[in-house]
Amino acid sequence: MATVSEHPEKAAAYIADRSRSRWHDGALWFVRSKRDRMAHSLPEWERLRSTASQIKAHTIANLPEILQQFEANAKARGVHVHWAADAQEHNEIVLEIVRKQNATRVVKSKSMLTEECHLNPHLEANGIEVIDTDLGERIVQMRGERPSHIVLPAIHIKKEEVGETFAKYLGTEPGASDPQYLTEAARQHLRSKFLEAEVGITGVNFAIAETGGFVVCTNEGNADLGASLPRVHIACMGIEKLIPRLVDLSVFVRLLARSATGQPITTYTSHFHGPRPGCELHIVLVDNGRSRIRDSDEFRSALGCIRCGACMNTCPVFRRSGGHSYDAVVPGPIGSVLSPAADTKQHRSLPYACSLCGSCTDVCPVKIPLHHQLLTWRQQIASQGLLPVSKTAAMRAGSMLFQHPRIYALAGALGRRALRWLPKSWIYNRANPWGLDRDLPEPPVESFRSWWQTNRQGTSVDEGMKSKGAKNGK
């Protein structure tokens, strides 16, 4: 049984390393700033977002018909199409394809779906070597970690730590931290793995129902090598990755790289339309809970996500607390919507890892109302009785306070005095986890209630505000 993951505890451990937290914050804000410059360079940016949102809404609404169209056109091109209801079925299908080839060596490009299905451990448990070929993913694979970001999987690791990892696993010079030297070492290591591989696995960014083809976007070209050198190519995709027409592709290609990394386009945008002569191409279409999200009026639009990571780069909570604090395959705002849909109890704390500032909604290229959906999750989690007692007790206490003006006034008076006179260690300690990383403002000498009675006694609030406005010449 999965253990309940609490974001605040994991975030606290990450934030304790203040230097790393600040560096992580700055690195992601740099990417967010690049995204803004790219978005502002296109006068039609908002029109592209609206069009993408409409295409995705149409696709999700007509998903069964569009999936059947894609399957028919893909099969007509000689592609083997497989259907997987869940992660286990997906993993069994991939393993069966690999075994039919008598293969023991697999290279895999970045695919969040295979992370979601835990494909690597499944194949490794059956004697298959799986090498992640995206540089960031290879680094975290060597370290035994999961990606902390869906586009920048090793964004939490400094170059000195990469040097230590490569020295241990690739035999590079101890203490080396030069990015060019380390990248060249990784290139030589991965090149040999590409040449040895018998099967290549990729993800899918977009699949086109009209043509039966699909597109994989990378910046390193690793997916192209992984799909071209081995005789067998397996493409794993969630059923929400479809778009209806080829003409729709240009809308998403223009949005994806600009939103993800602030580039005009990914370095490699590779199209696959059937197997090479004498080779095999398999596509595994995976549901794994997506149909359940599609049935939900509140969260259906989350299936429009194109996995650009823009919501993570802008989220103040994600930037400061790091991706691993979410303990989910997809972290950040979109992960905080999708993960509770898969297991509400396990991920009950994620919708609260949010300030509701709305910045994620503002940058989403397909206009998913993320902060509204996170608020809806909070309501549903509370109604299911999944909130911890500490939170529900505080909410009840707050409710009682706001319903009784005399108690509210007394609590305010006691609080102002306590904040002024009590030793700081009495207020900011482990009994007050909220205060471990925050300082309250200087308490006022008198309350607003007291000020009002002194300066506006005998007048209503409306009259007082009008009087104040008149004095200000308004």
Tens-digit pLDDT profile for residues 320-350? 999 999 999 999 999 999 999 999 999 999 9
Residue showing tokens 């999965």: 2
Q: Are residues 107 and 250 in the same domain?
A: yes
Out of 238, 272, 295, pick the residue that ends a domain: 295
Contact between residue 274 and residue 281 where contact means Cβ atoms under 8 Å apart: yes
Number of domains in the chain: 2
Residue 2 lies in a domain: no
Q: Is 206 helix (H, G, I), strand (E, B) or coil?
A: strand
Question: Whole-angstrom Cα distance, residue 156 to residue 324?
Answer: 9
Out of 295, 311, 332, pick the residue that ends a domain: 295
Q: Which of 303, 410, 260, 325 is nearest to 21 (CA)?
A: 325
Q: Are residues 82 and 207 in the same domain?
A: yes
Q: Are residues 118 and 249 in the same domain?
A: yes
Q: Are residues 288 and 413 in the same domain?
A: no
Please report the pLDDT score of residue 418 as a whole number.
Answer: 87
Residue 269 lies in a domain: yes
Q: Are residues 270 and 131 in the same domain?
A: yes
Q: Which domain holds residue 126?
A: 7-157+198-295
Q: Are residues 291 and 402 in the same domain?
A: no
Q: Which of 344, 338, 253, 263 is nearest to 303 (CA)?
A: 338
What's the pLDDT band for 1 if we cut at 50, 70, 90?
A: very low
Q: Are residues 33 and 142 in the same domain?
A: yes
Residue 276 lies in a domain: yes
Residue 446 lies in a domain: no
CATH of the domain at 87: 3.40.50.10420
What single letter denotes the amino acid at residue 15?
I
Q: Are residues 133 and 242 in the same domain?
A: yes
Residue 333 lies in a domain: no
Of 117-121, 293-297, 430-434, least confident by mean pLDDT is 430-434
Q: Are residues 76 and 221 in the same domain?
A: yes
Residue 99 lies in a domain: yes
Question: Using one digit for the tens of pLDDT, what is the confidence trace for 209-262?
Answer: 999 999 999 999 999 999 999 999 999 999 999 999 999 999 999 999 999 999
